[in-house]
Chains A and B, each alone.
Chain A
Amino acid sequence: MSSESSKKRKPKVIRSDGAPAEGKRTRSDTEQEGKYYSEEAEVDLRDPGRDYELYKYTCQELQRLMAEIQDLKSRGGKDAAVEIEDRRIQSCVHFMTLKKLNRLAHIRLKKGRDQTHEAKQKVDAYHLQLQNLLYEVMHLQKEITKCLEFKSKHEEIDLVSLEEFYKEAPPDISKAEVTMGDPHQQTLARLDWELEQRKRLAEKYRECLSNKEKILKEIEVKKEYLSSLQPRLNSIMQASLPVQEYLFMPFDQAHKQYETARHLPPPLYVLFVQATAYGQACAHRKSSQPPRQDKMLSVAIEGSVDEAKALFKPPEDSQDDESDSDAEEEQTTKRRRPTLGVQLDDKRKEMLKRHPLSVLLDLKCKDGSALHLTFYYLMNLNIMTVKAKVTTAAELTTPISAGDLLSPDSVLSCLYPGDHGKKTPNPANQYQFDKVGILTLRDYVLDLGHPYLWVQKLGGLHFPKEQPQHTVITDHSLSASHMETTMKLLKTRVQSRLALHKQFASLEHGIVPVTSDCHYLFPAKVVSRLVKWVTIAHEDYTELHFTKDIVEAGLAGDTNLYYMALVERGTAKLQAAVVLNPGYSSIPPIFQLCLNWKGEKTNNNDDNIRAMESEVNVCYKELCGPRPGHQLLTNQLQRLCVLLDVYLETESHDDSVEGPKEFPQEKMCLRLFRGPSRIKPFKYNHPQGFFSHR
């Protein structure tokens, strides 16, 4: 027990104060060095369990001691005090033990606390490490998914198909034995091949680019050369102008004309182009000859180009104007009646307005005469008209009977059968006319020109006919082109009119001009003479008693020209009423005869008069003379004189009448009569000079 108390004291000293403990230590260094023990180390050696037993025991001892003291006190005796003293010493020892135990418990607590802290720190460090590692894992996982999700660019590349690859790629790229089983290697090889190919193509591309560059450069050089040529050519053109003029090759003019032609309305443009083309074609036909000034056909454009240009601008609401004026008209009819006529007049003028440009066509004949045609386009009526003028090389004396032959009004009449140019060919026009009170275009043709059908056709305008065509058109006019036919017709028309014009002059003086190349048609001696050649009106012709047949046959239309010829021999007078078709000389003049000799004889009562008519009318082809047959009319007249001679000379002589025959037979005839009709020998046989029957 004593050892226990000594043990208990020492730590108490050390612990109670540091500095005095040092002093104590230094003081008891020598004596207490070996015996030093620290309560800390003692704690490790002691068993807490026993300490607890000790604590319990001490506490019990104390309680007993206390209880003995109390007991002693309560009995109070003299010995009690000693005993109490003893007891009190024992209690103190127990208190000492308790104190020691308390310290130990404290140390132990502290130690435990330290240990716990230490362990906690350790756990914390481990926890941190764990966290780091987890984070690292997560990051790595992310990286892995990223890698897994990575899309390679090669997937977008369109590769050649497998078969093709193995077929075409060289073995050092394809490496069939390696790549066949390994899709990765295969893809790599295919990509390699692709790369190879692309490299090649790139090479090619580069080459092509350089080629292109080269060619571009060449083009540039050539362009430069050409542009440098332009001013030189211009200067050459400029210089050649006088030469062109000198040689009559108006290339430049033509060019200018084409410029102007662009402003022509479509029908006139068509006409212009066609006519120019035809003119050139004609010129080429005789290209063996040097180019001449007197081209057969020349085309020109007349009129103001500016006005034509102005027409192209959109008109300012003409439709509105019209309706406005209509309304106005209705309103003002009552108030302003006198001005209505003026308004209508304006409207008519507007309706009949011509396009400012017109096409001029000059058709020249070999003898120097020319036909000038001016083509107009009536914009609102959509028809074309033509005005004609004939000029001749030499001045003509105008015979009275030739009045209408060359007049602009009739010179082109019926160029094609029935085409008299007095009616509008566009059926729509009639309604337009009704609106403004025009009865027929006939009243305006002198001013506007004639709207012949062929003019519309030349301009490419096509209108339906009013009645179905029942006249037969000959193959000739069908097969030939319209322009050519028309031009030829125009030319023959002018020539035949001019020929007629000349012939009429001598016919009026009673001379039948027979050209030398037609002499063979007639005997040398012709006694009957033409004494009169006058023009007569259509009405007068129809009223003649011996022309009924012609009128009934529809051969005496009002477009024809009518003449009366009188042939005389002695007392015999032969009247001949002549219908001259505008289509002369392809359509022959028609003669109707009336002989005044021993009574009046016509085809009705005398077969021979009928035969004479037939001789000139039906057998006209042998009288045409040399082509183009302009001598037909004069030859027919001369033939008529011969026929009259034959008729009179072969007339049977009445034996019962005294005296000589009035007309002795001078003509040589094989027979006087022939056939049931007792026709006289009207046919003249040229070289022998006798007359026979047809």
Chain B
Amino acid sequence: MGRWTEAAAAGGGASAASSAGPPCTPLPLPASSPGGAATMAFSEEDGSNGGASEASEEREAPGRRRRLGWAATAWLTFYNIAMTAGWLVLAITMVRFYMEKGTHKGLYKSIQKTLKFFQTFALLEIVHCLIGIVPTSVLVAGVQVSSRIFMVWLITHSIKPIQNEESVVLFLVAWTVTEITRYSFYTFSLLNHLPYFIKWARYNFFIILYPVGVAGELLTIYAALPHVKKSGMYSIRLPNKYNISFDYYYFLLITMASYIPLFPQLYFYMLRQRRKVLHGEVIVEKDD
């Protein structure tokens, strides 16, 4: 009986049929003559073609490149360039304000229109996931964008007294640096010319920026609490004909508490992604 095993060699290959079972490594088995060794390859690519969001990356097996139509590629390229530009403008405005005024008071007011515009525009990222031109799950993108929208519209926009808090500057700086890095990363990936330092920045800056941003956000919400309690804003009391009540103050407390389980999960996820992408580690995820 003959025995025919594969020898490992570098080269390109198409992937084999993947099974419906547990995450099975697709075996690229290109056709080759029976006498020779079948080649196989496994290109571990940084397959962030369409751009995944901050804390969750591509779910597909590496090596499976997304095939985007020209329209989707064009749109995503435009979108990512526009967002990079927008956050750059924000950053420059903030720096100039501080250089001219020497204080952070009034900083939020001067950038609020730009911030609201570009952060709200990011809602489109959920649509990108919905229509499948970006490989991130809708849920993850939704959570990401929603938390930003929440901070911008339901906290800093609505609760004016806290706009001059230092904590606001803290998260604004974190967001700005993060977003400029993230959007330029996606832009370069789409153009297939990703400079290593952008990839390095994307997978290293978060180590500091994430905790800084979270601290800024939590401190800001905390500062807002007394104002919310006093004004009773965004709240419904009983009795009313729909028999429901909502207390924004307690909602904010619960939101702050929810950072405790959520933040570590996202942070460690990014750390795992970092090890995979920058150091080529093979990380075997626990089988759910």
Query: Is this pair of chains taken from one and the same complex?
Result: no
